[in-house]
Amino acid sequence: MSLAEDLEKLMLEITATVPRETLAVMGRAMGRLKGAGVIDNCLRVGDRAPEFSLPNVQAEMVSSGDILARGAMVLSFYRGVWCPFCNLELQALQLRQTDMEMRGAKLVAVSPQLPDNSLATAEILSLTFEVVSDVGNNVARQFGIVFTLPEEMRQIYSGFGIDLPAANGDETFELPVPATYVINREGIIAHAYVDIDHTKRLEPETIIGVLNELR
């Protein structure tokens, strides 16, 4: 199945178990976020990608400059190990990691989680690509994809057992909009996918197609 089909199946499973009132609150919150223009100023195709250096799960610094000196970079911003939609996306990316590397690209996944939680992500999902921690969302902010979780959603997340302050090490309740960027060797964004709807993600096959065009 495609990633989209897996995500849709997961959404149906969640919808079947979550109270209707909770789903309604979630839907209204999503609508307000879309209406607020959260991603109106995000970086897009043709923009220069910000440079960064972030710690990976081995506490080693991963530099975008070092990666781009050797080839293209696929940069995936995800919310955290607590997000099942993110986990499906990361697993789908893992399945195509070798295909991306064969096309000269390095895959990097970024979240605002504390390093220990990034390590948990990599271990639970058996990820072999770079998983880095953008604590404070500093890099995500430069890409223009940071938003603050609405108050009503904080209560729902808490009811689901999701403790964002503990996961991210701060009280901001800020998260990155799930986004995937393909960046060429010159540091220019060749493809950008940003969607405030966290149940939607870019198909790995689309990434492969972009990388084919860059070769």
pLDDT of 1 strictly over 90: no
Q: What is the dihedral of CA 203, 52, 197, 97, to 10 degrees?
A: 20
Instruction: Choose which CATH entry (3.40.50.9100, 3.40.30.10, 3.90.1150.10, 3.20.20.70) describes domain 3-214.
Output: 3.40.30.10
Which residues, 6+ apart, have CB-to-CB distance to 170 below 8 Å?
135, 136
pLDDT of 102 strictly over 90: yes
pLDDT of the residue at 176: 98
Q: Which of 24-38, 47-61, 77-91, 133-147 has the lowest mean pLDDT?
A: 24-38
What is the band of 33 on the pLDDT scale with cuts at 50, 70, 90? confident
Instruction: Name which residue leads in pLDDT, 76 or 215.
Output: 76
Domain segments of the chain: what residues? 3-214
In this prediction the pTM is: 0.96
| φ, ψ at 210 (rounded to 5°) | -65, -45
Q: What percent of the chain has pLDDT over 90?
A: 95
Among residues 94, 127, 100, 132, which one has the least CA distance to residue 210? 100
Q: Supply the mean pLDDT for the chain.
A: 96
Rg of the Cα atoms in the chain:
17
β-strand 189-194 against 53-55: which pairing, if any?
unpaired
pLDDT of 25 strictly over 90: yes
Q: Do the Cβ atoms of 86 and 197 come closer than 8 Å?
A: no
